[in-house]
Copies of this chain bind each other. A is one copy, B any other.
Amino acid sequence: MSDPDPYQRAAFPLRNRLARLLWNVVAALLFRPSPRPLFGWRRLLLRAFGARIGRGCHIYPKAEIWAPWNLDCADAATIADGAVIYNPSRIELGSHAIVSQQAYLCGATHDIDDPAFALRSAPISLGAYAWVAARATVLPGVRLHDYAVLGLGSVATRDLERAGVYVGVPARRVKTRRIGDDAGGGR
């Protein structure tokens, strides 16, 4: 029997909550205490929980991944210490995308006009070489195109264009990143 108070109903089905419970136990025992240089070990743990993690990804030990099975990282992506990946819906990082310290990819919100305050999640994606700087936040449904930059502490409320540099709350475009044709690494 569900709770008569809609605010008191669980936002996620039991199966999801059990999976996260198991992941949280594993994360507390094997992921977070792992020495920083053991990036391969953490990639292994995330893949065991269903994440798609490319080669050379740098996922730091204090990164918080809500649901590994909804995380998709292309090669050489980075998620720093203290970054929060809140992904009830899928979150994708392109090749060489970077999520810096304490940045927050916030993949869900609540419908404030709904008496039940229902959770609304939507996918987030970062293109290749996109950078979410320290303490910045990306809202549900937002896409950063390739090479886009979200400045420190800024909040992306809508899509960021290719190679655009955005700052502020909410983030506004302030300049364009230079992308050399002759640059290495596929740029």
Question: Which residues in A have some Cβ–Cβ distance to B below 8 Å?
Answer: 4-8, 21, 24, 35-36, 56, 76, 84, 86, 96, 98, 101-102, 104, 106, 109-110, 112-113, 115-117, 131, 133-135, 137, 139, 149, 152-155, 165, 167-170, 177-178, 180, 183-185, 187
In the complex, the count of this chain's copies comes to: 3
Measured between beta carbons, the chain B residues less than 8 angstroms from A152 are: 106, 109, 137, 139, 155
Task: Indicate whether A56 sits within 8 Å of B5 (C-beta atoms), given known contacts A112-B165, A112-B177, A153-B155.
Answer: yes
Minimal beta-carbon separation of A4 from chain B (angstroms): 8
Contact between B104 and A131 (Cβ–Cβ < 8 Å)?
no
Measured between beta carbons, the chain B residues less than 8 angstroms from A86 are: 101
CA distance A16 to B149 in the complex (A): 28
Contact between A134 and B104 (Cβ–Cβ < 8 Å)?
yes
Contact between A183 and B115 (Cβ–Cβ < 8 Å)?
yes
